[in-house]
Amino acid sequence: MVNSTDLLANLYNAFNPFEPLPAGDPKYVDCQDVRGDADILQELGNRMQLANTNTCQLYSGHRGAGKSTELLRLKKYLENRKFYVVYFAADEEDIDSEDAQYTDILLACTRRLLKDLKGIASPRPILDWLKDRWVDLKDLALTPIEFEKMAVEVQLAQFAKLTRKFKSCS
């Protein structure tokens, strides 16, 4: 007979709640009845597929509720319809999930896109774009500004210029 500690360990390792299930995994249980009527493939997948413009979607839920598993299903659904999907977990390599800024997410997406493109297409256009942004930032960082000698209005104008430059680089 298996003791309760061994049984719990076996169950935990068979159904690790911290690892999303890959699309098509036989352990997947459709919980739509208790989660609500929305099906991620129909709601988000079709909305993305049919839109004439870029879309932004927010998919949220409690930790461990199955968001990543559903997003992996959505990824497969979209890839089967000839979409290119960049997917990565927020706790991987370059995002601190406890202190993530939007720039961290953009840089992580760019890094992941370049990594994926390496195998299927030329990453040169993205690398050229990044190089141009880097040159802009380098030029900005090397520009001497002496705030002490400026009036407050001029300092604010310089700060606004700096902010615009940073925003145009991201």
Residue 74 confidence (pLDDT): 93
Residue 112 confidence (pLDDT): 79
- Measured distance CA(61)–CA(69) in Å, rounded: 12
Residue 3 confidence (pLDDT): 79
Report yes or no on whether pTM surpasses 0.85.
Answer: no
Residue 79 confidence (pLDDT): 92
Average pLDDT value for the chain: 78
Higher pLDDT, 130 or 76: 76
Residue 77 confidence (pLDDT): 92
- Position 169 pLDDT exceeds 60: no
